Structures are given as C-alpha cells and as structure tokens.
Amino acid sequence: MNTKLRIAFAIGALGFAAQAAASITFYENEGFRGRTFSADQPVNNMNRAGFNDRASSVVVTGERWERWEVCSDRRFGGECRVLRPGRYPSLSALGLNDRVSSARAVKRDTHVEDHRYPQYQTHMQVTFYEHEGYQGRTFTADRPVDNFQQVGFNDLASAVDVQGRSVEVCSDAGYQGRCVVLNPGRYPSVMAMGLNDKISSVRAVDSNSRDGRRN
C-alpha cells in the first residue's frame, strides 16, 4: 500500500471511529430501569430489535455536537424529537413514552430548529476529571457547587463530562472569574478554554444555551 493510500485509509478510519462514538441506549422503564436496547447506527424499525413502542427512558452518549433523532413511527416518521448527549429519565415529558419506533444520529452540520429539542429541563450531572482524556480522580456534581474547596477538587479539573443540563464552570468561587457554558457532551480537555486546573465553581444554566465564554 503506497503512502497516499495509507493516509487516505487512516483518515477514513478516524472518520468512522468519530461517527461510531455516538450511541443511544433505550430503557424499558423510566429511571433507566428494565431491559435495554443500544444502537450506534440508524434503526428504521425497532420491531426488528424487539423494542418497538417499549422505551420509557434514554441515554445519549457522544461529543457535544452528536445528537440523535427519535421518532414515533418507522423510518423516522411521525412525531420526532432531537436529543443532545445526556440522560433522559422519562420519555413521558417528550410525549414519546412507549412510542419510539425509529432512531438515527443527526449529522454534525445539520441545523435543528429549537422546537425539535426537548422543552423541559433535565437534571444536572457533570463529572470532572483530574487529567485530560478522562483520567485520574473524579468529582461528580448534580447540583450547584459554589466553591470546589469544599469538595477537595479546587483547581484540579482537566476534562469534563456534562450530562442532562448545560452548566457554567468558572475559574473563581461564587461563579466569578472566567466562566464558560458547556452544553451536554464530553470535553477531553479544557485547556483551550483557559480553564485547565482552574475550575472552582459550577452551576446549571438554561439547557438550550450555546457554548459561550465570558471573562
């Protein structure tokens, strides 16, 4: 295999790996209980998986731009919602309890109207990692923390995993200093945000907020 072909193959493999990173898991009961069905490829008829009209809660995993569309009819028809990465403990709030019949990932560059996202606020769950790439000690918060000194994790975080609601992370206690809004997703490094080993507080913000920064 010549050099050009090897490079093309490597790029293609990386692209496939990035696409495969996004996945969705359906649970038979609310609160992530009961039988499960997971997919990382489009499912145009959940009858084939024995899970048609059975899902009551959902977990979407992947990077912050990776979203899934879930629909009430086969072949992505009927009533549809687009889900960002996060945990959705009840599909009743989306009007889709025991109604999901198809699901597919949404392409990264696809524009989605706001009304297609869930209009209710999920709970906040954010995990901080001591080292980049989700390594080392961790601290998970499901409510606002205005001073990381209190939990022994001040100025230690280098990677973040946000689920449920968007959060604002700040360099100083009391939500002061440099602050960045992180929408649901996985952030293997906060270096580029200027927050490596600097996060001192976190709180939930509007779930439809866009990634943003302020000083």
Say if residue 102 is in the same domain as residue 128: no
Say if residue 174 is in the same domain as residue 108: no
| The overall pTM is greater than 0.75 | no
Round to whole Å and give the CA distance between 211 and 215.
14
How much of the chain, in percent, has pLDDT values that exceed 90? 56
Say if residue 101 is in the same domain as residue 140: no
Predicted local confidence at residue 178, as pLDDT? 95
- State which of 116-125, 191-200, 201-210 shows the largest mean pLDDT: 191-200
User: How many distinct structural domains can be found in the chain?
Assistant: 2
Say if residue 142 is in the same domain as residue 206: yes
pLDDT interval class at 129 (50, 70, 90): very high
Three-state SS for 55-122 is: CCEEEEECCCCCEEEEEEEHHHEEEEEEECCEEECCCHHHCCCCCCCEEEEECCCCCCCHHHCCCCCC
Boundaries of domain holding 81: 3-116
Give the tens place of pLDDT for each residue, 65-92: 789 999 999 999 999 999 988 888 888 8
Distances (CA, A) of 173 to 82, 154, 179, 186, 188: 34, 9, 11, 23, 23
Among positive and negative, which fits the CA dihedral 204, 206, 207, 211?
negative
Q: Give the chain's length.
A: 215
How much of the chain, in percent, has pLDDT values that exceed 70? 83
Give the tens place of pLDDT for each residue, 24-48: 999 999 888 899 999 999 999 999 9
Structure tokens at 152: 């022994």
Q: Over range 177-196, report the average pLDDT.
A: 92
pLDDT interval class at 21 (50, 70, 90): low
